[in-house]
Amino acid sequence: MRTQLVESYKPSLFLSSLGSGGLAVSFYLYLMFMIPHPTRPMATFEDIFPYVMRGDFISLLVVIDLAIILFFALAHLRLLWWNIQEFSLFKKSEAFTRLKNSPEEVSLMALPLTYAMTVNVLFILGGVFVPGLWSVVEYLFPGALIAFLAIGIYALKIFGDYFSRLLAFGGCDSKSNANFSKLIAVFAFSMISVGFAAPGAMSQSLLVNAIGLFFSIFFAALAITFGLVILVAGTKSMIKEGIHPETSVSLWVAIPILTVLGITATRMIHGFAHGFEHTQAKPFIGFILASLIFSLQLMFGYLGYKVMKKVGYFERFIWGEEKSASSFAIICPGVAFFVFGMFFLSLALLSPGIIAPFSLPYFLFLIPFVAVQLLTIIVFKRLYEKLLAA
């Protein structure tokens, strides 16, 4: 990998680590939704290992999936370490000072966003590869809450510095605002929110349950509030100025935000039903929620694709030779579309009994999502070779 970038480094390169972590999570979802785990809210080593030992074709598929999870998880950690090292050098440069006093300061939100993903990746690695971990998970949940709280405070510090400077002194003109790049902050708050929602939904302790749900609501509220502000302001500027080709990928950032907020809402519903009402959530709620999120994702996906095709984004910044650190942002929508496709299948189609598990309609529905997942891997490889490989 390239090193000593210093002034040419961009905080957006943290999205390379984020994307590989997201790909690891996406392959875990095959195990999560296809392997029964009736006594636990997620598939763990105890649920997965018997399938590995069966010695049939299913065993082969499970082993391949586990290998892919491990590969992308290690890639995530490797890219995270590389970014931390390069960012520490970048902070000592004049370029960092210029960034701190420009609209691009918001790109620093890629750091807490990626750190939140790291906690999720480590949680999945532990659950999948460490025998008996779930038996002590109640001792781990408080640690997860502390980790997400630290990341949340860091995110609030970065965003507070950025947004208060804009409110006090301005400096964000219509042309520089003609994109959705600032949604990176909303994405970070959403990722922190979904992290808090995990203990909120899974813990058997009402106190841990309540703390997780409170902070999940807090960061989700921030994400929704500032998300609406950024969408309205950005759309107004784009209609007036038109979008710059390099930043057109930001039109798709809403897709992973919707995925993460959709999972957050799902966890909240189950958390309140399980922890406060001691009952199960109604299937129709999942159908409405999943349909709403999926519909919005299709809208942003279609409009974003049309705009990016018109400005030649794919030809120039993905398959062409033009380089942009923010290009790694395109990995997140691909991962997110697959991830929420799996949730939509579970919440909107399987849970109400509309289709049967592992039936022909089940696998036909999966085809477009798997295709997007595989295309995302191809794009990730292309961007890694173009932007990071030595």
What is the residue-wise DSSP string for 268-326?
Answer: HHHHHHHHTS-S---HHHHHHHHHHHHHHHHHHHHHHHHHHHHTTHIIIIISSS---GG
pLDDT band at 273 (very low <50, low <70, confident <90, very high): confident
* Domain spans, the chain: 6-387
- Looking at residue 80, its amino acid is L
* Residue that has been written with the tokens 């709280």 in this structure: 149
Report whether 268 contacts 213 (CB < 8 A). Answer: yes
Residue 379: which residues within 8 A CB-CB, separation 6 or more?
318, 330, 331, 334
Cα–Cα distance for residue pair 343/57, rounded to 1 Å: 25
The predicted pLDDT at position 277 comes to 74
- Vertex 19, ends 57 and 192: CA angle to 5°? 110
Report whether 227 contacts 183 (CB < 8 A). Answer: yes
The predicted pLDDT at position 274 comes to 73
pLDDT band at 313 (very low <50, low <70, confident <90, very high): very high
Q: Which helix (H) or strand (E) holds 20?
A: helix 14-34
pLDDT band at 2 (very low <50, low <70, confident <90, very high): confident
pLDDT in tens, 214-259: 999 999 999 999 999 999 999 999 999 999 999 999 999 999 999 9
- Give the mean model confidence (pLDDT) for residues 314-336: 96
- Give the mean model confidence (pLDDT) for residues 292-317: 97
Instruction: Tell me the Cα Rg of the chain.
Output: 21
Q: Is the pLDDT of residue 279 over 80?
A: no
- Give the mean model confidence (pLDDT) for residues 311-334: 96
The predicted pLDDT at position 275 comes to 74
pLDDT in tens, 65-102: 999 999 999 999 999 999 999 999 999 999 999 999 99
CATH of domain 6-387: 1.50.10.150
The predicted pLDDT at position 230 comes to 96
The predicted pLDDT at position 301 comes to 98
What is the pTM assigned to this prediction? Answer: 0.95
The predicted pLDDT at position 171 comes to 76
Number of H helices, E strands in the chain: 13, 0
pLDDT in tens, 135-179: 999 999 999 999 999 999 999 999 999 999 999 998 777 888 899
φ, ψ dihedrals at 39, nearest 5°? -100, 0
First to last CA, the chain: 4
CA dihedral 212, 214, 217, 222 (to 10 degrees): -110
pLDDT in tens, 24-53: 999 999 999 999 999 999 999 999 999 999
Q: What rounded mean pLDDT belongs to the chain?
A: 95
The predicted pLDDT at position 111 comes to 98
Report whether 363 contacts 301 (CB < 8 A). Answer: no
Inter-residue long-range contacts of 214-217, CB under 8 Å, 24+ positions, other chains counted = 215/145, 215/148, 215/149, 215/152, 216/264, 216/267, 216/268, 217/193, 217/268
- Give the mean model confidence (pLDDT) for residues 181-186: 97
Report whether 127 contacts 103 (CB < 8 A). Answer: no
Residue 370: which residues within 8 A CB-CB, separation 6 or more?
338
